[in-house]
Structure 1
Amino acid sequence: MTCPVDWPEPVVRVQSLSESGKPVIPERYIKPPSDRPSVNSSPPDVNIPLIDMAGLTSGDPDVRRVTMNEISEACREWGFFQVKQKYANSPITYEGYGSRLGFQKGAILDWSDYYFLHYLPSCLKDHHKWPANPPSLREIVEEYSKEIVRLGSVLLEVFSINLGLKPDYLQNAFGGEDIGACLRVNFYPKCPQPDLTLGLSSHSDPGGITFLLPDENVSGLQVRRAQEWVTVKPARHAIIVNIGDQIQVLSNAIYKSVEHRVIVNPDKERVSLAYFYNPKSDLLLHPAPELVTPTTPALYPPMTFDEYRLFIRTRGPQGKSQVESLKSPK
């Protein structure tokens, strides 16, 4: 299955709207009252779990076991955690390139721009479409991509073992080495009416694992925790790991994808880098048979990532309702 590539309406760069100096945002960006950020109180900050991945290669089995347990608990309780990594440095400055999530005509839009750099499968990678400036960008993104793909493979093995599956189960379910991997540069321009819109609407990531380098200087990422939106305080030199909907499906909801959104700022721009580690697009994904029992039946029907991605893109971000709507009737 292929996804439509033509939008029904012109794509507008939010950066150009921000730089116009107009004090009012276009109606297309105004969210329904129930979806707007609260202006009456500041949401609490939250320190999400921070895990040192070096523990996985420790010669001490107790240290390794503790690290494995920390990852498992974070996947079960949060769907979200941070890992310390030597290459997890803060992003610098990028230009916005246009925005569109959800392609129904008349859809309410988010106050953000983004730009994709595809790495895998190799047939989608085109260095000519990668920015040429700064001159080191292509080399840095190439090296960063290799590190993220390696980290994704390590985490899939950890997830598999923690779920009681064969160590290579999830990697094989993702397609072995034939996974999808791409970097999205997110740019959130200054907004004159941040109380009326969002940089990115509430959603869970549709794919497998998302590795996020947040902006350490400007907050904006929020997660839903106990029915309340809380602002994430990123640790310095750490990378945020999001569990995506496909891990929720494959684990039969033992691990749950995290609902999150992005708020915008009236005075400061914000940049983040999201790296998506996804299953091969045409493989059927379903709960692992080992996790299905008479008392815990399969919650989700088989579906390819392409089919699910089209389902998501047609409607745009809608919290956790999309993956939850796929649950099989009991």
Structure 2
Amino acid sequence: MSWPEPVVCVQSLAESGIKTIPVRYVKPPCQRPGGAAMESVEVQRNIPMVDMAKLESAAAVRDMAEACQEWGFFHVINHGISGELMECVKESWKQFFDQPLDLKKQYANSPMTYEGYGSRLGIEKGAILDWSDYFFLNYMPTSLRNPAMWPAFPPSSKKLIEEYGSEVVKLCGKLMKRLSVGLGLKEEYLLNAFGGEEGIGACMRANMYPKCPQPDLTLGLSPHSDPGGMTILLPDHNVPGLQVRKGDNWITIDPIPNALIVNIGDQIQVLSNAIYKSVKHRVIVNSNKDRVSLAFFYNPKSDLIIEPAKELVTEERPALFPRMTFDEYRLHIRKRGICGTSQHEQSLKST
């Protein structure tokens, strides 16, 4: 597959000095920030916070489980990843995005894998696009890594990607155990369902949301839930932009220094039989500042069947989702672009 039309670098558009955004980035009125009926926006209200230093206690596990049920999102502090490493890896991606376009295009991606540098998701011709560029790369299993597609500039970037990824994988392993306990399951349940430490998959996406002359007309990332297992987000602590859906509200998350943001993905929602929620979220853009974030996606082995845990299925609460491999689900998402959890939402609506 190839892109259905020429790919335009959004950062270059922003830097050209345009005063109005091209029509292909203008969202319908009902999809614009604050534009939908029965919808309000609460600015900078914080999601729950989880302290990793306290997660051995039953009370802390219960609080995290409640955050996953009520919000699907939480901040995590005392996570063991140094603030210096987080700032260095963020800075390296900022430096990459600031490189000349010709250099960045050497890493141009395709819809086949999305790996590399890109500016659109989905292959629908004439689609309304998001105001963002990104760089996507595979991290685990190591057999899927393509070092030639990892950016060579700045020179420290490959080492930083490796080091940061290793630390986040360790963090995810710890979180998976406590998330299992929070469901009343054995602590290894979720990790085993993902294929064990040797079977899990992981990938990263560095996001560049350029400043936008008309931020009220577009979005950096359209509303969606993450199709994988769990996402660890290293946010831009200087420029809020992530919004989480809570009831009828879009709530702008206020980043906390040195904290990471964790959200439940579709595959853990399935395994938990919708006890843990994979929640829609989106990204707004800023009229004066660029914003860079780094999302780390922690996923099940691609060919394993994912289905609700039998221990969580009862007559009163039957299985809410069909059996499906992550590969099958991911293919559905890739064909349609960033469109939320349409298959899983339909399963929930039919119950």
- 1:190 equivalent in alignment to 2:189: no
Three-state SS of the structure 1 residue aligned to 2:135 is: strand
Deviation at 1:322, TM superposition (A): 4.4
Three-state SS of the structure 2 residue aligned to 1:210 is: strand
C-alpha deviations, 1:58-94, integer Å up to 9, x for none?
Answer: xxxxxx2222112111111110001112425342224
Segment of structure 1 superposing worse, 171-180 or 246-255: 171-180
What does residue 75 of structure 1 align with? 68
Deviation at 1:321, TM superposition (A): 4.0
Three-state SS of the structure 1 residue aligned to 2:42 is: coil
CA distance in 2, matches of 1:29, 1:194: 10
Unmatched 5+ residue regions in structure 1?
Answer: 58-63
Three-state SS of the structure 1 residue aligned to 2:179 is: helix
Q: In 2, are the aligned partners of 1:301 and 1:328 still within 8 Å (CA)? A: no
Unmatched 5+ residue regions in structure 2?
Answer: 98-116
Three-state SS of the structure 1 residue aligned to 2:293 is: strand
CA distance in 2, matches of 1:127, 1:55: 38
Q: Given the superposition, is the C-alpha separation of residues 320 and 228 from structure 1 closer, same or farther in structure 2, using an over 3 Å criterion?
A: farther
Residue in structure 1 matching 2:346, options 294, 317, 325: 325
Q: In 1, are the aligned partners of 2:227 and 2:341 still within 8 Å (CA)? A: no
Three-state SS of the structure 2 residue aligned to 1:45 is: coil
Segment of structure 1 superposing worse, 311-320 or 139-148: 311-320
What does residue 60 of structure 1 align with? none
Three-state SS of the structure 1 residue aligned to 2:311 is: helix
CA distance in 2, matches of 1:121, 1:306: 14
Partner AA of 1:68 in structure 2: V
What does residue 98 of structure 1 align with? 118
C-alpha deviations, 1:11-62, integer Å up to 9, x for none?
Answer: 22111111121212111111111110138986322111111101135xxxxx
Structure 1 residue ranges (4+ consecutive) displaced by more than 6 angstroms after TM superposition: 39-42
Residue in structure 2 matching 1:160, options 173, 180, 184: 180
C-alpha deviations, 1:99-142, integer Å up to 9, x for none?
Answer: 12221112111000000122111122122221122222211211
Residue in structure 2 matching 1:233, options 241, 249, 254: 254
Q: In 2, are the aligned partners of 1:74 and 1:80 still within 8 Å (CA)? A: yes
* Aligned length, in residue pairs: 320
CA distance in 2, matches of 1:278, 1:144: 17
Three-state SS of the structure 1 residue aligned to 2:130 is: coil
- 1:272 equivalent in alignment to 2:293: yes
Q: In 2, are the aligned partners of 1:222 and 1:260 still within 8 Å (CA)? A: yes
TM-score, scaled relative to structure 1: 0.92
What does residue 171 of structure 2 align with? 151
- 1:202 equivalent in alignment to 2:223: yes
What does residue 304 of structure 1 align with? 325
What does residue 236 of structure 2 align with? 215
Deviation at 1:320, TM superposition (A): 4.8
Deviation at 1:148, TM superposition (A): 1.0
CA distance in 1, matches of 2:240, 2:266: 25
CA distance in 1, matches of 2:286, 2:131: 10
